[in-house]
Chain A
Amino acid sequence: MNNDKLKSPIDRRDFIRRCGSLLAGGAALAAGGFLATKVKGKTGDVFWQIDPYKCTQCGRCETDCVLPISAVKCFHANRVCGYCDLCGGYYRPNVKDLNTAAENQLCPTGAISRKFVEEPYFEYTIDESLCTGCGKCVKGCTSFGNGSLFLQVQQDLCQQCNECAIARVCPSDAIHRVSYDDAYQLKDHA
């Protein structure tokens, strides 16, 4: 100890530490290399989206999103719509009068508005800022109409959670990841 000449330039503990860090570094690089083989595509399937043909409109999209108001909104495929007067997505079941009074409307927030086009057709439009994604209208339209109303994740609202909180509870496994180019699964194009 007193003789400086006998002392090695690196002490034992440091030497072990250096060996360990080289080992760990090698392991980390090897693991990184292995994982890099799992990286595919430019962006890959990173965005959450609902498959409208799998969706059963259970209503969990409204309640289980991490956002205070769900990122899931109702979309309307005009090219699929029948433009009916008696719309299963617009009116409550067994409604007495076919007018736009609030008590007749199925949508709890009044997000669907309708406009007369020509006899006997009506155009339906969804105000997405009011929609809560509850899926009540979708259920009505799918059960009684053409199924032109469907739920989709509004991509600019979606937080892109690592695991979608709705996907975790979706009973029909309708939520999956899509790529940037297929960010929406629209019914018009099907």
Chain B
Amino acid sequence: MLKLMEARFPKPDFTSGYQYPDILHSVPNETLWNVVDIVLLVGMMMLVVWAAYRKRSRAVIYSISIVSVLYFGFFRSGCVCSVGSIQNVVMAAVSPDYHLPLYVLLLFLLPILFTLLYGRVFCAGVCPLGALQELVNIRNFRLARAVSATLSIIPWIYLAFTFLYAATRSQFLICRLDPFVGIFRLGGDVGMITFGVVLLIMSVFIGRPFCQWLCPYGALLSVFGSLSWKKLEITEKGCINCALCGKSCPVDAIRSPQVSRTREERLRGVNRIILYAILLPLLTLAGAMLLGSQSDALSLAHKDVYLYELLLQQEAQPEMEMPLEVETFHALGGNIEELKAEVADIRSDYKLYSRLAGALIGFVIGFKLLKLSLKRSRRTYEISTARCTMCGKCFNYCPQNLTSSKPRRPHSPQTP
């Protein structure tokens, strides 16, 4: 092809001693920054652990948020992030030829490992998305628990679709729908920036709306958080049930003691748990079947499938204006039979992965129902490590933390 082009005009033979200019092209941004990223990521997470467990200091966590927004957000312009790394990891897991950079793998794994040990320290202020919302937050208006619980299914649906589109190599949904990357880059898709600004205005009044009801990585971390080895306590001096911390939490992660609730018959509770335990696999199955049945429609998100559909449309209505994709396809001498075979492959992939994604959504809905039906009695205020983003606000609200004298005796109904 190149030979053909070169033949069009012969190479000039200069007589004036003309020299070809040497053009140097700038090298890519040094990969050294990736090392700095990882070191900072680990360092900041360790700092959060120290600040939360040892110092019980919100000031340190707040400063980390500022550093994170400035460095990971504005300086490194938010790409690649741990939230987005889910997609690379899914892609690497399902396709044999995808090269997963070590840097991206670490971005994915390190916050999970830290969460398993200490809870969601990554969310505290290391993640620039959470940190940005944290910095603008002033008030905490609460949604009703029922509404909040229903909304908290959204991250899982988001995660399921992210998985589906990454596993079928269609697109990176998280990168496309990232509301804050446009703000960090001071430019970008108008729709997404508007969405980001709306979220930021919301997070002035409601704590971290993105983290609570959208973030798919947060959903993943909440699972590991609920199983974390260490459990953060608001005060080491014992809870006095003053309820101040509960009101301070931006993400509604502090559970009040349920002593005054009306008791119900034991059998009723057991029956309800059995009902939901039966419902769980049924919902999983229903989800798998429902999304699986839509796999052909979903597969349009893949570029090649979309092109194929465009080609079919074009064939059906030749008078229609030719889309650029179709034009390019014909110009490059594309073979429609080859494309058809390829599309069939992609569609069978979609069949499998959309079932898996549907099963995940169904399972999560079932599991949330099951969990809601369990009643837990608590004697004091406790942090739900699945929800807690370790912002540290409650530390300052706890009166026990303000007294520097010797520990007061904890309030407990059992002690005489």
Distance in angstroms from A144 CB to nearest chain B CB is 8
Given A35-B100, A118-B18, A162-B84: A156 in contact with B93 (beta carbons within 8 A): no
Q: CA A45 – CA B29 in complex, angstroms?
A: 14
Q: Is the CB of A24 within 8 A of B109?
A: no
Of B27, B28, B175, B332, the residue contacting A162 (CB under 8 A) is: B175
**Inter-chain contacts of A67 with B (CB < 8 A):** 185, 187
Q: CA A45 – CA B100 in complex, angstroms?
A: 9
Q: Mark A12-32, 1 if CB is under 8 A from B, else 0.
A: 000001101101110010001
Of A32, A68, A162, the residue contacting B187 (CB under 8 A) is: A68
**Inter-chain contacts of A162 with B (CB < 8 A):** 79-80, 84-85, 87-88, 172, 175
Q: Is the CB of B188 within 8 A of A121?
A: no
Name which residue of chain B comes closest to A18, CB basis. Answer: B229
The stretch that binds A, out of B5-13, B125-133, B134-142, B202-210, is: B5-13
Q: CA A46 – CA B332 in complex, angstroms?
A: 27
Tell me if A82 is interfacial: C-beta within 8 Å of chain B: yes
Name which residue of chain A comes closest to B9, CB basis. Answer: A82
Instruction: List residues of B (304-358) whose CB comes within 8 Å of A's CBs.
Output: 324-325, 327-329, 331-332
The stretch that binds A, out of B60-68, B220-228, B285-293, B402-410, is: B220-228
Q: Is the CB of B329 within 8 A of A36?
A: no
What total of chain A residues lie within 8 Å of the partner, measured CB to CB? 66
Q: CA A17 – CA B108 in complex, angstroms?
A: 23
Q: Mark B73-104, 1 if CB is under 8 A from A, else 0.
A: 00001011000110111001100001111100
Q: Mark B150-181, 1 if CB is under 8 A from A, else 0.
A: 00000000000000000000011001100001
Q: Mark B7-33, 1 if CB is under 8 A from A, else 0.
A: 011111011101011010111110100
Tell me if B105 is interfacial: C-beta within 8 Å of chain A: yes
Q: Is the CB of A35 within 8 A of B89?
A: yes
Q: CA A146 – CA B1 in complex, angstroms?
A: 11
Of A38, A152, A154, A180, the residue contacting B99 (CB under 8 A) is: A38
Q: Is the CB of A28 within 8 A of B87?
A: no
Q: Is the CB of A32 within 8 A of B29?
A: no
**Inter-chain contacts of A102 with B (CB < 8 A):** none
**Inter-chain contacts of A159 with B (CB < 8 A):** 77, 79, 185
Given A36-B105, A146-B6: A180 in contact with B11 (beta carbons within 8 A): no
- Most B CB within 10 A of own CB, among A20, A155, A163: A163
**Inter-chain contacts of B23 with A (CB < 8 A):** 75-76, 78
Q: CA A84 – CA B10 in complex, angstroms?
A: 10
- Most A CB within 10 A of own CB, among B9, B21, B93, B171: B9
Tell me if B48 is interfacial: C-beta within 8 Å of chain A: no
Tell me if B303 is interfacial: C-beta within 8 Å of chain A: yes
Q: Is the CB of A24 within 8 A of B113?
A: no
Tell me if A56 is interfacial: C-beta within 8 Å of chain B: yes
Given A56-B331, A163-B171: A155 in contact with B25 (beta carbons within 8 A): yes
Given A162-B172, A171-B329: A117 in contact with B93 (beta carbons within 8 A): no
**Inter-chain contacts of A135 with B (CB < 8 A):** none
Given A76-B23, A117-B18: A44 in contact with B99 (beta carbons within 8 A): yes
Q: Is the CB of B188 within 8 A of A168?
A: no
Tell me if B147 is interfacial: C-beta within 8 Å of chain A: no
Q: Hey, which bits of chain B sit against chain A, CB under 8 A?
A: 1-2, 5-6, 8-12, 14-16, 18, 20-21, 23, 25-29, 31, 77, 79-80, 84-85, 87-89, 92-93, 98-102, 105, 108-109, 112-113, 116, 171-172, 175-176, 181, 185, 187-189, 223-224, 226-229, 303, 324-325, 327-329, 331-332, 414
Q: List 20 A-B contacts (CB under 8 A).
A: A1-B414, A17-B227, A18-B229, A21-B227, A24-B116, A24-B224, A25-B116, A32-B109, A36-B105, A56-B332, A79-B20, A80-B5, A82-B10, A118-B14, A145-B8, A155-B28, A161-B175, A162-B84, A168-B303, A171-B329
